[in-house]
Amino acid sequence: MSGSLSNPSQLLMRHADALSGSFLINPPADGIMRQLQADGGLRLTAHGSDQPSVEQLRSGERSENVVLFLPKSRARIAMLIDLALSRTAIGGRTWLVGAKKEGIASAARQFGLALTDGGTVRKTDAARHCMLFQAGPGDTARSFDLDAYWESFPVSLPGVDGGPHTLFSLPGVFARGRLDPGTELLLGHLQTSPGQKVLDFGCGAGPITLAAARGGARVTALDSDLLAVLSTRRTLAEAGLTGDVMVSDGFSQVNGSFDLIISNPPFHQGVQTTSQAAHGLIRQAPAYLKPGGSLLLVANAFLDYPRVMQETFGRCHCVAEAGGYKVLKA
């Protein structure tokens, strides 16, 4: 089992005997949960490979050991440190583990600055280009308020009347604080009609979902990230609109078929780039499209998505190209 674990998980497992009853935050989907369970370990997770409910994020339940895996989104570090410390029992230990190249040393400094109640942070171990830090016991029970991390920002949605519109976002949600140029280009060429069944794959803060719902479509939206799902749900609710917004790893939670699947598929994961999610979306999309249905996505112009779309659908049309992006339809 250990051979399949990520480097941070392998480092953490060197201390498994000290982690009984742990609360894990942001664990990778590499088997670390099962491995710790096999060693008599953990209780539950906050978010990551096993997505939580909102109640889990808001719960005040505390544990003797809380482990925070460094998130890929640096914008999310402060919030998750706050969450981790709030879940640590008085006299308990808070652990932080991650890779050097992903900024674990910087996060550890931020971790130390957050210890305002007499706690201390020290490096516990280092191996496989990763580091493990541990905060000593503090003497004050801390609270966590998810609502304190909400941001809202006005955007103009191309082709959608009645702007500016408002997007709501939690830390690390794409694209927090702005309408990214790829989505802007896509929305300028998006046409939906009342009653049309639309799936927004990778909804982020919800601009595509909002635009489609404004056009009268029956929208389903998904994202693998709980905070993105919460953001899109609030974006819709604050606009007085409805839609089915769910946490889903790819199409795993999707039922039914759609007239149109729309996506600005993820290309970056932390410091790395990957086309895996987009390739999976393209190849699985036909199974979720009605006869005559279409896939519409936007991507960096240099990516090989047209080839994959051509192989999968037997067709691929470039609807628009600008600013280093292409809107592709199949």
Residue 48: what pLDDT?
Answer: 46
Q: Which domains does the chain have, with CATH numbers?
A: 2-143 (3.40.50.150), 150-329 (3.40.50.150)
Residue 33: what pLDDT?
Answer: 79
Which two tokens mark 189?
Answer: 């060429």
Residue 102: what pLDDT?
Answer: 94
CA dihedral 260, 286, 266, 245 (to 10 degrees): 50
- Three-state DSSP class for 280? helix
Residue 273: what pLDDT?
Answer: 47
Give whole-number Cα distances, 127 to 10, 65, 102, 255, 292, in Å.
Answer: 9, 21, 14, 43, 53
Per-10-residue mean pLDDT of the chain, 330 residues long, equals: 82 89 83 74 47 61 89 89 89 94 95 82 96 83 88 92 90 84 95 96 96 96 92 96 94 96 76 72 98 97 95 97 97
Residue 255: what pLDDT?
Answer: 93
Residue 268: what pLDDT?
Answer: 43
Q: To which residue do tokens 């919460």 refer?
A: 230
Which two tokens mark 91?
Answer: 């006299």
Residue 20: what pLDDT?
Answer: 76
Residue 110: what pLDDT?
Answer: 93
Alpha helices in the chain (DSSP H): 7-13, 32-38, 54-58, 77-86, 104-113, 181-187, 207-214, 226-238, 276-284, 305-313
Q: Indicate the pTM of the whole model.
A: 0.88
Could you tell me which residues come within 8 angstroms of residue 53 by beta carbon, excluding any fewer than 6 positions away?
A: none
Give whole-number Cα distances, 68 to 74, 86, 107, 166, 222, in Å.
Answer: 13, 12, 11, 32, 25
Residue 24: what pLDDT?
Answer: 86
Residue 138: what pLDDT?
Answer: 66
- Three-state DSSP class for 188? coil
